[in-house]
Amino acid sequence: MDDGALSLCSSIIPNSYVNQGKQSLITQSNLFKVLLEKRKIPKDGWSSQTVEYFLSQLSLMDSNNFMGNCGVGEREGRIFSETVARRHYRFSHGIGRSGDVTAIQPKAAGSSLLNQLCSSLLLDFIQMSGIRSASSCIIVPMATGMALTLCFLTLRHLRPTAEYIVWPRIDQKSCFKAMLSAGFKPIVIENLLEGDELRTDVESVEQAIVQRGADKILCVFTTTSCFAPRVPDRVEELAIMCKKFDVPHVINNAYGLQASKSTHLIEQANRVGRVDVFVQSCDKNLMVPVGGAVIASPQKALISKIAQTYAGRASAAPSMDALITLLEMGRTGYEKLLRERKENFEYLKGEMTKIAAKHGEKVLDTRHNTISIAMTVSQCLVGDGDKDATELGSMLFTRCVSGTRVVARGATKAIEGHSFKGYGSHCDDYPCSYLTAAAAIGMSRRDVDLFVKRLDKAMTDCAKRKMKSSAQQ
């Protein structure tokens, strides 16, 4: 309400009460003004009521919500279901225009403001996480794999003679398919086993560039967040190499914003060498529904080209989810979550070490991976070890343990005609079968306690089966 409306309120109820309400409205208005001026994540998170009030103000700026609006086009933001309208706070125009996913829409000032604010807050989020050199970012309504494909398609325009992408192997199907979907041939670089860790073979990456010729290489495609025993790529060394050969460097940072190790690697890589773009998942880092990814770069011009490569408009849902979360979380809330994640990682590692000792196993030494932990499962295998390893995973799943991965030796997988030996372990022949668990943002101490309790029970059951099988032989 403006001052005129509040003055009229005083003719209905006592003025002292109206003034109290006015102060509350001014407080809300000041929060909005600071956000629009600074375009940074607020120090303290907003209440959900304040966020909803802010969104309702923005949605009233979209043409489909104008009083007396007369829409005669084919895309007028009409919504049949009232349930759907409420779910989206009556935003219906999406973001961008046909030629640029970041363009402002004449019909949708509110939606455009929402998207621009979201991008600004996400850039602040990335810089606060440790990548200070990031200068621009966009949010796209697709998960990490397709967002990477979009990046590769953009680079194709800049490197028309390129045919290959040099890729230190990581056994995640979406990463491999992202390259194929963009029309490129992956050059798979096998990892080196150093102790228990799988690390980047930097020399082989350089050989691949030299053998094919730098002009034939679209980019070097590295990874910073991964399942143990694989650890983040040596992105600093590879960034120096990319700068030397003038080859773009794309980083899959899927859930790396929550890990200071990953963000430090990207920041240092950009300082000493070349980083063109890095991509991260919204759901993994912001705890929102799956369906959004953040594409960021030290180069504003490259982000602009990626936005122009995206065909057509896009759903505003990921932008809205991210904006709401960042406003409610605030800087203080995010910093608290990061501290808790680090504490939970150490706690999880300690508890898994105890369980491993109890069952004659060991936690693998993967100190360069600060999110994922791997533990051998050799002692609980009976007969056909590969089959038993996967059965252990099934036992955990039936006990409502999600997120663990049990990787058996000898597994093979074909993806679009390319055969991977030892699939799941990021190399042809890892020395043992193992299971992984991750301490990601949002995990609680209770989650850890329940997991180790159920893991202990499942491994005890496996040991009993092994003893029974031995007695029968």
Instruction: Tell me the pLDDT tens digit for each residue of 72-99.
Output: 777 788 888 999 999 999 999 989 887 7
Q: What is the CATH number of the domain that holds 68?
A: 1.10.10.2160
Are 429 and 459 members of one domain? yes
Q: Is the pLDDT score of 388 beyond 90? A: no
Q: Is the pLDDT score of 380 beyond 90? A: no
Any domain includes 97:
no
Burial of 384 (0-12, 13-18, 19+ CB in 10 A): exposed
Distance (Å, rounded) from C-alpha 199 to C-alpha 201?
7
Q: Is the pLDDT score of 282 beyond 60? A: yes
pLDDT in tens, 213-244: 999 999 999 999 999 999 999 999 999 999 99
Any domain includes 342:
yes
Q: What sign for the dihedral angle of Cα 316, 321, 327, 331?
A: negative
Which residues are within 8 A (CB) of 343 and not within 5 positions of it... i.e. 6 or more apart? none
**Banded model confidence at residue 71, pLDDT cuts 50, 70, 90:** confident
| Mean pLDDT estimate for the chain | 92
Average pLDDT for 273-283:
97
Burial of 464 (0-12, 13-18, 19+ CB in 10 A): exposed
Are 158 and 291 members of one domain? yes
Any domain includes 80:
yes
Any domain includes 103:
no
Q: What is the CATH number of the domain that holds 322?
A: 3.40.640.10
Q: Is the pLDDT score of 321 beyond 60? A: yes
Q: Which tokens go with 140?
A: 């796209």
Amino acid (1-letter code) at residue 118 = C
Any domain includes 104:
no
Are 15 and 47 members of one domain? yes
Q: Is the pLDDT score of 465 beyond 60? A: yes
Task: Give the residue from 377, 311, 376 showing the smallest Cα distance to 98.
Answer: 311
Q: What is the DSSP string of 426-439?
A: TSS--SS-EEEEE-
Amino acid (1-letter code) at residue 322 = A
* pLDDT recorded at residue 223: 97
Are 346 and 465 members of one domain? yes
Are 214 and 140 members of one domain? yes
Other Cβ atoms closer than 10 A to 141: 22
* pLDDT recorded at residue 315: 92
Any domain includes 238:
yes
Average pLDDT for 197-225:
98
Question: Rounded to a whole number, what is the distance in angstroms from the first to the last CA of the chain?
Answer: 83
Other Cβ atoms closer than 10 A to 4: 8
Higher pLDDT, 106 or 221: 221
Task: Give the residue from 121, 108, 20 showing the smallest Cα distance to 63.
Answer: 108
Q: Which of 310, 330, 350 is the last residue of a domain?
A: 330
Average pLDDT for 102-129:
94
Are 310 and 349 members of one domain? no
> Domain range for residue 432?
333-472
Other Cβ atoms closer than 10 A to 467: 11
Are 284 and 358 members of one domain? no
* pLDDT recorded at residue 470: 61
Average pLDDT for 33-43:
96
Are 41 and 143 members of one domain? no
* pLDDT recorded at residue 384: 52
* pLDDT recorded at residue 391: 79
Average pLDDT for 145-159:
97
> How many distinct helices (H) and strands (E) make up the chain?
15, 14
Q: What is the CATH number of the domain that holds 403?
A: 3.90.1150.10
Are 372 and 447 members of one domain? yes
Q: Which residues partner with 219 through β-bridges?
A: 165
Burial of 293 (0-12, 13-18, 19+ CB in 10 A): buried
pTM: predicted TM-score of the whole model, two decimal places: 0.93
